[in-house]
Amino acid sequence: MELALPHNLVLVLLLACGAGIAPPAAAAASGGGRWDILQHSIGVSAMHMQLLRNDRVIIFDRTDFGPSNLSLPDGRCRRNPHERVLPVDCTAHSAEYDVRTNAFRPLSVFTDTWCSSGTVSPDGTLVQTGGWNDGYRNARTMAPCVDGTCDWNETQDALAANRWYATNQILPDGRAFIVGGRRQFSYEFYPKQADHPSDAIALPFLVQTKDPEENNLYPFVHLNIDGNLFIFAKNRAVLLDYKRNKIVRTYPELAGGDPRNYPSSGSSVLLPLKPSPTEAEVLVCGGAPAGSYNATKDKSFPPALTTCGRIRITDAAPSWTIETMPSPRVMGDMILLPNGAEVAIINGATDGSAGWESANTPAYAPLIYRPDHAPGDRFEEQSASGIARLYHSSAVLLRDGRVLVGGSNPHVYYNFSNVRYPTELSLEAFSPEYLDRTNDVLRPAITDPSPTGAPASVTYGGSMTLQFSVPAAPAPSSRRAHGGGGGGGLGFVSVTMVAPSFTTHSFGMNQRLLFLDVLETAASSSTPGAYEVSVVMPATAVIAPPGYYLVFVVNGHIPSEGIWVHIDS
């Protein structure tokens, strides 16, 4: 897209945006946010979820649980004589949920996807890897479609090692980095390429962080702005130069030494990156004290951790800053909200750990964390859901700014009764406070590129102009427009770009939020009453790996609906 320079720069010229200088909510009610049930049952429990560029969410569970509540079409069945529960299973263990129509359909996955991982490749295809049993080393792809005909394509033994409880991170070259998994102290790449070994590469850090409870599974991985990979396991982290297989930085232990990875599942995000970032911060929240998983076997449920650790991973001598949540949480999902000013911590429990029947008290109310507020003023408890979302629940951001929540199956089977926390087949949406009607007067609406049209195509370092409107915006000649909230109108405008996460087991893999460099915000030269904001896309694939992102215009702290954008070189 070409950068359009409007002639009448009657509005203020905003050079570079900044996270966090936006004024607080114009109408922020405490205990904010709202819950809606979207579907009482989609038939499959949402252990893994990924939003694709067609506004469909691909959902899957494990395949060896016995019958789900969703039949496979056309007499299809999974026939596996080694299957413990159901040798002939004619039910689906994966589904496609269409956000726009609130409809779903069964998908066919025939080898076990239990506790697996994934990325979305640059062409928008979901690439899932690993699982269990007959699915340990498999790769499965799911290409997006709108006609209801696409389905999983499985490749047997595509991986070098069994990847069960592994983590994936998309790389600047578009491939997946796959690390860890049960009894796998190594990493590998997928797809395989000639310039990299096809075997698994040893990562001693995973041996060093293994304890008797294996509290280092599903490590938290973030692609740092220097191209290296931040890998957090148990209670500490390293920075891996995967091209040379060298640990280039070792981070200190997170104070207290409590484990944060499965089964002591906390969660983690790379905090929003500023334009042309020179620094990057990681936040790790919650988890369970060592010994919790063992304790739950004796029906004892120790309180979860209340602490978060925040660290500037780009520092040469980094240290953790400890913050305290208003309540303890294990198995929370951390989701970056599109205004770039808030992180939702959602789902999970206040005691116990991840694992079968291993938590006793659900955490029904999400928390919002505001990274740019003063320490001590960052957390706010939100309104509660009525549904327990324990082990095997998940959450993903949608294009409209809601957070889709599903799953919870803390049993070995699909038990819908006779258990304290039955298997959950429902889908819910959490609407953060910015979606409240009282914020409608401030809500930007992107009009060009069309939010429902084909994804806009952009290149690294290229420019893009977004046209948008704001209901209550005063005439463009009014300087009052930049007062920042008040009675409504145009406040500080920023533009964010979000990589949707592959979420499972309390971690949003590949999740990334970038503030784009805003060149200017001005009255539209072509459409009366509308505005144009011109931004520069990230300069490199290290900052934003190639693929599909959601782009939002944010007025103060109120985000528009997103548009899909495809970035590649």
Ligand X SMILES: *[C@@H]1O[C@H](CO)[C@@H](O)[C@H](O)[C@H]1NC(C)=O
Interface contacts to ligand X, rule CB under 6 A: 41, 66, 69, 153, 155, 212-213, 290-291, 294, 413, 415-416, 418-419, 425
Residue type, 469: S
Please answer whether residues 72 and 91 qualify as being in contact, where contact means their C-beta atoms are separated by less than 8 angstroms. yes
Q: How far is the CB of 567 from ligand X (least distance, A)?
A: 24
Q: How far is the CB of 417 from ligand X (least distance, A)?
A: 7
Q: How far is the CB of 292 from ligand X (least distance, A)?
A: 9
Q: How far is the CB of 410 from ligand X (least distance, A)?
A: 11
**E-strand spans in 143-288?**
153-155, 166-170, 176-180, 186-190, 201-202, 220-223, 229-233, 236-241, 246-250, 267-270, 281-285
Gap between the Cα atoms of 407 and 426, Å rounded: 7
Q: How far is the CB of 350 from ligand X (least distance, A)?
A: 20
DSSP letters, 406-445, are EE---SSS---SSSSSPPP--EEEEE-GGGSGGGGGG--E
Please answer whether residues 553 and 14 qualify as being in contact, where contact means their C-beta atoms are separated by less than 8 angstroms. no
Cβ nearer to ligand X, comparing 55 with 213: 213
Cβ nearer to ligand X, comparing 19 with 290: 290
Q: How far is the CB of 41 from ligand X (least distance, A)?
A: 4
Gap between the Cα atoms of 153 and 138, Å rounded: 10
- CA gyration radius, the chain: 23
Cβ nearer to ligand X, comparing 69 with 478: 69
Residue 460 CB neighbour total at 10 angstroms: 17
Please answer whether residues 493 and 433 qualify as being in contact, where contact means their C-beta atoms are separated by less than 8 angstroms. no
Cβ nearer to ligand X, comparing 149 with 278: 149
Q: How far is the CB of 215 from ligand X (least distance, A)?
A: 8
Cβ nearer to ligand X, comparing 356 with 416: 416
Cβ nearer to ligand X, comparing 375 with 386: 386
Helix (H) or strand (E) holding 322: strand 321-324
Collapsing DSSP states into helix, strand and coil, what is residue 97? strand
Cβ nearer to ligand X, comparing 356 with 413: 413
Please provide the distance, in angstroms rounded to a whole number, between the alpha carbons at the two ends of the chain: 14
Cβ nearer to ligand X, comparing 68 with 534: 68
Q: How far is the CB of 198 from ligand X (least distance, A)?
A: 16
Please answer whether residues 522 and 535 qualify as being in contact, where contact means their C-beta atoms are separated by less than 8 angstroms. no
Instruction: For the chain, give the number of residues.
Output: 569
Only one residue has tokens 């269990």, namely: 132
Cβ nearer to ligand X, comparing 68 with 469: 68
Cβ nearer to ligand X, comparing 238 with 425: 425
Tokens of 458: 């952009």
Cβ nearer to ligand X, comparing 43 with 328: 43
CA 41 vs CA 46, 141, 550: distances in Å: 11, 25, 28
Residue 387 CB neighbour total at 10 angstroms: 18
Q: How far is the CB of 124 from ligand X (least distance, A)?
A: 14
Q: How far is the CB of 151 from ligand X (least distance, A)?
A: 8
Burial class of residue 30 (count of CB atoms within 10 Å of its CB; 0-12, 13-18, 19+): exposed
Q: How far is the CB of 378 from ligand X (least distance, A)?
A: 31
Cβ nearer to ligand X, comparing 269 with 427: 427
Gap between the Cα atoms of 61 and 44, Å rounded: 7
Residue 456 CB neighbour total at 10 angstroms: 17
Q: How far is the CB of 358 from ligand X (least distance, A)?
A: 13
Gap between the Cα atoms of 268 and 271, Å rounded: 9
Cβ nearer to ligand X, comparing 63 with 463: 63
Alpha helical stretches, state H, 394-536: none
Diameter over CA atoms, the chain: 73
Please answer whether residues 394 and 47 qualify as being in contact, where contact means their C-beta atoms are separated by less than 8 angstroms. yes
Cβ nearer to ligand X, comparing 53 with 234: 234
CA 245 vs CA 152, 186, 201, 228, 539: distances in Å: 33, 11, 8, 10, 25
Gap between the Cα atoms of 190 and 160, Å rounded: 9
Q: How far is the CB of 391 from ligand X (least distance, A)?
A: 15
Q: How far is the CB of 208 from ligand X (least distance, A)?
A: 16
Gap between the Cα atoms of 475 and 473, Å rounded: 7
Tokens of 138: 């498999």
